[in-house]
Amino acid sequence: MSINRSPAVAPRRVDDAPTLRALAHPIRLALLEALSRREPLDATEAAEMIGETPSACSFHFRMLAKYGLVEDAGGGTGRRRPWRRASPAGFSFPAASDDAAAGLAADALSGVLWGRYLDRARAVLARRPLLAAEQEAVTSAGETVAYVNPAEAAQFLAELQALMGRYQDRLADQSLRPADAMALELLLFTYPLDAVPPGA
């Protein structure tokens, strides 16, 4: 699974249990998401964006730094310490691992991520009638089934990821964002229907 995948820059590969466990925390994931929208951020600025306390954000920034996921952005004065992502292209992690501890940690991280994505999508879709017209126009949900062989499925997924990654350079370089840019989250879930448990 890749988070904030950029076609131009490879995401950081995370496959060790301690770092995967460190990532599998909602506040830490929220901080990384906030930094992808605007960086650098100090704990107070991040707290306003994600709805947590500055002290909690400061603690979790330090934990992310311990595992090389964020770094000091410099230019801090007094107690203000700005942070930035260590890897602007985001991170990826394996779905399975020969290391049992890493496999369990990857499962936990995957569960937290999928939960965050689906909760956010449900919340926005529930509020759709209240959205501004320009927001409502680009808010959608869809489902389809494609009958493809394994090679076609791999090609189809690569093309979808390339399309979704078209503007990912703007995550790493905020100067590339148009003045009227909005942060548009794109979710892509692909899976074989045969893998869905009966009754799900």
Q: Match 């489902």 to its residue by tokens.
A: 143
Task: Please say if the pLDDT value at position 5 is more than 60.
Answer: no
Average pLDDT, the chain: 89
Bridge partners, residue 3, by sequence: 91
At residue 4, the pLDDT reads 52
At residue 66, the pLDDT reads 96
Give me the domains of the chain, ranges plus CATH numbers: 2-195 (1.10.10.10)
Element (H, E) at 24: none
The token duo for 10 is 């490879």
CA distance 55 to 43: 7
Residue at 137: amino acid letter: A
pLDDT digits (tens, 9 = 90+) for 146-166: 999 999 999 999 999 889 888
At residue 3, the pLDDT reads 55
pLDDT digits (tens, 9 = 90+) for 43-97: 999 999 999 999 999 999 999 999 999 999 988 777 789 999 998 778 889 888 8
